[in-house]
Structure 1
Amino acid sequence: MSVYKSHFTLLFALLGASFVTAQTTITSRLVDAKTERGIPYATVQYGEYKGVITNEEGRFSFLLEEGTELLDSIYVSSMGYQKTGLTLEQLQDTLITIKPKAIELSGVYLFDKELSVDDIMEKVKERLPQNVNNAPIKQRYFLRQSIFGTVQKLDMGFEKSSIEELDKELVDSIARIIPRNSYHYTETLGDFYKTKDDDYKVSVLRAAELYDKKDIGSFEDLGKRMEEMFKQNVKKDSYLKIKSGLFSQKVQVDSILTEIQEQEAKELEKELGKDTISGLVDAQKRIFKEVLGEVYHEEDTKLNVIDKSRKYRFELVGYADIDDAGVYVISFEPKGSADFRGRLYVNIEDFAVMQVDFENLKNLRNFRLLGIFYRETLYKGTMRFSKLPNNRYDLRFVDFTFGRWFRFDRPLDVIEKNKNVRGRRKQNELRLNIDFRMANTNKWELVVYDNTLIDKAQFEALTEDKSVKATYMPTYNPEFWQGYTIMEPNQAIREFTVEGK
């Protein structure tokens, strides 16, 4: 199929190249020329396969190493805006404005043969093997994980206690001192290596964590906090036993449950369990595995809009440009039982999906078993893909937000035992009926700055350094990332500080 644009793209003649004579950091903000609001997740392209993404406020920065060859124009672009070429001097302004551009509905592209939206979607599926990159690749990445927790209710449900030290006042005090809101940010810059066999390796260059160590980020944290307080208030020669196994990561299930219930409990344990993988590198690989598993063409992705396209209604709503390529803009929504609505941006020439925007319309999961309630309430985001030198596509940017809700409403027995007593060592008992409810939102922002195709030998030659650790910060320190290219932090991160540190 041949494609012709009805208007000409503005060409910038290269009048010559210049070189960076010293290490330079470019920092600015991209805003809408009409509203003066920041433009989130726009692309700032400063090399053929190099670029950065603006943060949710339109802020961006990148590092130019000494000796870097510069062309006359560095391009900024975003869906719905005119692509703009800027000089290095213009980029150094604190504010850069670009003009909105509406999605074209007609009269822009001429085709040898008009395709229906169903024809386009069939070609998307047919071309997947040719369009998806399976070659080994090295990707310089920046990953920001933002976790927000809200304790909606914590009722200890005190019933009785024969342990003098563990009275109602102490138990109620636990609920009072638990922070109701928690924030945990992890930022990592590194190199990610992958092969077509889904083998992953990570080399972390630098990482930081911002959080308050007093916060409660999971039910396990609450359990540890309670156990610590209990132990501080019992006799030295006594010890405590949690009768129900409540604070272990495993959810105890009665033997009478069916195999289906047991499997659901195992899956729930996996969802709710705190990350116990030792080390930053392994934790990064776990996140990559989860993120890459949710790419639209993967077999087990929640976003099954391609694999189960029959469950969705598609509509061709217009045309647009992404990275100088014309794209079909296709909206999708459920016909019946499907979960998502959104838009696909499909390359007109090769039918590659270049961007997906999506959001769920209902809970993705509802689980209830023996006083445990679990819901997956929110899943929305954007995936963006870029073309590699081998003419295949790989991830360039991801913004995922995943929301969960959890409730634990079960009795709990805390038994005091004395190690110096012969025979039956049970001395006293505390009985509670805990009602704990928590909402958790996990946001991932992944930017790939540089894609380099490698061979299997280069992959095998990399030895991971699993001793590297993230630097803990009770207060955001902008100097930590000085000299590195990252996605700029938003206002909440810039202002983050632990009270009373």
Structure 2
Amino acid sequence: MTFLKHAFPLLAFLCSIFSFAQEISGKVLSDSKEPIPFATVQIGDGYGVITNEEGNFSINTTNFKETDSVKISCLGYEKLGLLVKDFSSSNYTLKEQVNELSEVYLTNRNLSVDSIMYYVNQNISKNYNTSQVDYNIFSRRTEFIQGKNIDFEIDKSTGFSRKQLKNINKDINTLETTLLNNRSKQYTDLIANLKIKDNNNSKLKIDKAVRFLDERNDQSLEKLAERGKDLVSNHLDKNKIYTVKSGWFKLSDSVSLKEQEQGNKMEDTINSVGIIKTLMLDKINNHAISKSSMLDFVYETRKYEYELADITFLDSEMVYIITFKPKRSSVDYEGTMYISNESFAVLRADYKFYKGRVGEKFNLRLLLGIKYVENGKNGAVMFKKAEDGYYYPRYISEHIDRYFYVNRPFKFIENDDRGNKFAFDFNVEGTFKEKTELLFISQKTLSNTEYENLKEAKKVDYKTEKRYSSEIWKDYDVIEPLQEMKSFDVEE
């Protein structure tokens, strides 16, 4: 009894010192009670998360002592510090940074905005490294189609009974209704290890992948195309061979519907590790501070107009706030950069399409009945300095709107009896909305041995969830979901 009497208080004391474990959820606000997105919530020296667009965060304090420090910070705001023992699920307010030096600095400092941008470009190779890097990454992809118009009109249906035509029209009406009335978003979350050896060699290992998807209302472009194909093929004779024509072009002399059923090429593409790796690398490379990235406002200094709007501080480091917009029609973005006074590294960049600008486009509407325009884009990238002196990405967010229009006539002609034909006009129009977020949980130098030892799989084994639960990612450092994702729930 004496042993137990003294043992329990001792164990309780040890637990309080060495493991103050719980999940902390909260919100970071400004003085005016506005949410602060992309604020850093950090425990100790290197462990932390970033608030989402609504200012919310969730972080686990497992393995931290009560006396460890918690730091909540964001560019333009005073840092808030406290201890783990005082850190609880609550709202945290950051005071806006008062820049008393800004007026004197902006009027008396000899360093002009052009000089700052010159030094940024002179120090790119010194500040950033893109090879021999081993990243641990959390990725979230949100996508849905905002339908504008869909029309499916049968021109000829030789050999079809009245009942068959009725069933075809029923399927057509269902496809039209689901597209135009779509309110369903789908989310894809994954934790992965990305090893980048150089510009041409990289490997990806997926640790966990989850889809939040209403499979009855999947509105991805891939699934929409697949449903259009199935709508026709389900009502044709699968024992026959057809010639398919579209507009002026003969697409095939021998389409077998049985052969098409043998393999699901679309599903293989969606679940391909190679495709996911390519998409992830594209986001990273496009948001790199280099002269080959999408962020041309960093290096195309003759084509942009810059203004030194103010200064702020990140802890004790002074940071220039520089706004930019196109000076020539050959560039597309406007936004804000935050640049270190010490290293001339870009710490953060926020960008969006300038008024009237568009991105990639493909317009063969008159010839092929197809049009595609990237008509909306905005995003943000944040960098953090590592122990090796280089700056590596900490967070990337990008929203893209892609307008699409397809108006094509199709004709299925039975090879054995050329008089049997099924012809229709297909017209669909809408906007595909996509948002991608990458949170770089950790980064370290990649060794050649580690790279060679990693065997890259070919497919991703996704787990499909019908509702969101905080238990899904409770053991991982991820981006706190927005409220719309927390409310995701597919009725049985």
| Worse-matched range after superposition: 103-112 or 216-225 | 103-112
Deviations 1:414-470 (A, max 9, x none): 3345xxxxxx44352122222111211111111112222233333223233445512
Other-structure match for 2:284: 292
Deviation at 1:216, TM superposition (A): 4.7
When residues 64 and 151 of structure 1 are mapped into structure 2, their CA distance, relative to the original with a 3 A threshold, is same
- The equivalences for 1:373-384 within 5 A come to 373-384=371-382
Other-structure match for 1:367: 362
Is the 1:20–1:65 Cα contact (8 Å) retained in structure 2? no
- The equivalences for 1:302-381 within 5 A come to 302-322=294-314, 324-337=316-329, 338-361=331-354, 362-369=357-364, 370-381=368-379
Is the 1:296–1:306 Cα contact (8 Å) retained in structure 2? no
Is the 1:184–1:209 Cα contact (8 Å) retained in structure 2? yes
Q: Residues of 2 paired with 1:209 and 1:190: CA distance?
A: 15
When residues 459 and 234 of structure 1 are mapped into structure 2, their CA distance, relative to the original with a 3 A threshold, is closer
The DSSP-based 3-state class of the residue aligned with 1:214 is helix
When residues 24 and 460 of structure 1 are mapped into structure 2, their CA distance, relative to the original with a 3 A threshold, is farther
When residues 299 and 168 of structure 1 are mapped into structure 2, their CA distance, relative to the original with a 3 A threshold, is farther
Deviation at 1:99, TM superposition (A): 2.4
Is the 1:148–1:183 Cα contact (8 Å) retained in structure 2? yes
Other-structure match for 1:52: 49
The DSSP-based 3-state class of the residue aligned with 1:160 is strand
- The equivalences for 1:473-492 within 5 A come to 473-492=465-484
Is the 2:197–2:446 Cα contact (8 Å) retained in structure 1? no
When residues 151 and 416 of structure 1 are mapped into structure 2, their CA distance, relative to the original with a 3 A threshold, is farther
Identical columns (%): 28
Other-structure match for 1:262: none
Match of 1:138 among 134, 137, 160: 134
Match of 1:496 among 479, 488, 491: 488
- The equivalences for 1:80-479 within 5 A come to 80-101=76-97, 106-107=102-103, 114-165=110-161, 169-178=166-175, 179-180=178-179, 181=182, 182-235=184-237, 237-238=239-240, 240-244=242-246, 277=269, 279=271, 281-322=273-314, 324-337=316-329, 338-361=331-354, 362-369=357-364, 370-417=368-415, 424-466=416-458, 468-479=460-471
Deviation at 1:44, TM superposition (A): 0.7
The DSSP-based 3-state class of the residue aligned with 2:227 is helix
Q: Residues of 2 paired with 1:110 and 1:389: CA distance?
A: 32
The DSSP-based 3-state class of the residue aligned with 1:243 is strand
Is the 1:355–1:384 Cα contact (8 Å) retained in structure 2? yes
Deviations 1:259-285 (A, max 9, x none): xxxxxxxxxxxxxx9785464533431
Give the counterpart letter for 1:458 in structure 2: E
Structure 2: 5+ residue stretches without partners: 1-15, 252-264
Deviations 1:22-78 (A, max 9, x none): 64322222223422x332221112132322111112221123343x45654211112
Give the counterpart letter for 2:349 in structure 1: V
When residues 240 and 94 of structure 1 are mapped into structure 2, their CA distance, relative to the original with a 3 A threshold, is farther
The DSSP-based 3-state class of the residue aligned with 1:309 is coil
Give the counterpart letter for 1:340 in structure 2: Y
Structure 1: 5+ residue stretches without partners: 1-17, 254-272, 418-423
The DSSP-based 3-state class of the residue aligned with 2:295 is coil
Deviations 1:68-104 (A, max 9, x none): 4565421111233221112223331332222233566
Q: How many residues align?
A: 452
Give the counterpart letter for 1:106 in structure 2: S
The answer to whether structure 1 residue 31 and structure 2 residue 29 are counterparts is yes
Q: Residues of 1 paired with 2:267 and 2:343: CA distance?
A: 40
When residues 135 and 408 of structure 1 are mapped into structure 2, their CA distance, relative to the original with a 3 A threshold, is closer
Other-structure match for 1:7: none
RMSD of aligned alpha carbons: 3.0
- Structure 1-normalised TM-score? 0.82
When residues 386 and 71 of structure 1 are mapped into structure 2, their CA distance, relative to the original with a 3 A threshold, is farther
Deviation at 1:354, TM superposition (A): 0.6
The DSSP-based 3-state class of the residue aligned with 2:299 is coil
Deviation at 1:232, TM superposition (A): 3.5
Deviation at 1:235, TM superposition (A): 4.4
- Structure 2-normalised TM-score? 0.83
Deviation at 1:346, TM superposition (A): 0.9
Deviation at 1:197, TM superposition (A): 3.6
Give the counterpart letter for 1:430 in structure 2: F
Q: Residues of 1 paired with 2:157 and 2:373: CA distance?
A: 33
When residues 242 and 109 of structure 1 are mapped into structure 2, their CA distance, relative to the original with a 3 A threshold, is same
Deviation at 1:375, TM superposition (A): 0.3
Give the counterpart letter for 2:93 in structure 1: T
Deviation at 1:109, TM superposition (A): 5.6
Is the 1:332–1:342 Cα contact (8 Å) retained in structure 2? yes
Q: Residues of 1 paired with 2:296 and 2:392: CA distance?
A: 18
Give the counterpart letter for 1:379 in structure 2: K
Is the 2:67–2:85 Cα contact (8 Å) retained in structure 1? no
Deviation at 1:143, TM superposition (A): 0.8
The DSSP-based 3-state class of the residue aligned with 2:217 is coil
Q: Residues of 2 paired with 1:463 and 1:244: CA distance?
A: 43
Q: Residues of 1 paired with 2:266 and 2:286: CA distance?
A: 20
Q: Residues of 1 paired with 2:353 and 2:191: CA distance?
A: 30
Is the 1:359–1:379 Cα contact (8 Å) retained in structure 2? yes
When residues 274 and 445 of structure 1 are mapped into structure 2, their CA distance, relative to the original with a 3 A threshold, is farther
Is the 1:152–1:437 Cα contact (8 Å) retained in structure 2? yes
Q: Residues of 2 paired with 1:236 and 1:435: CA distance?
A: 25
Is the 2:67–2:84 Cα contact (8 Å) retained in structure 1? no
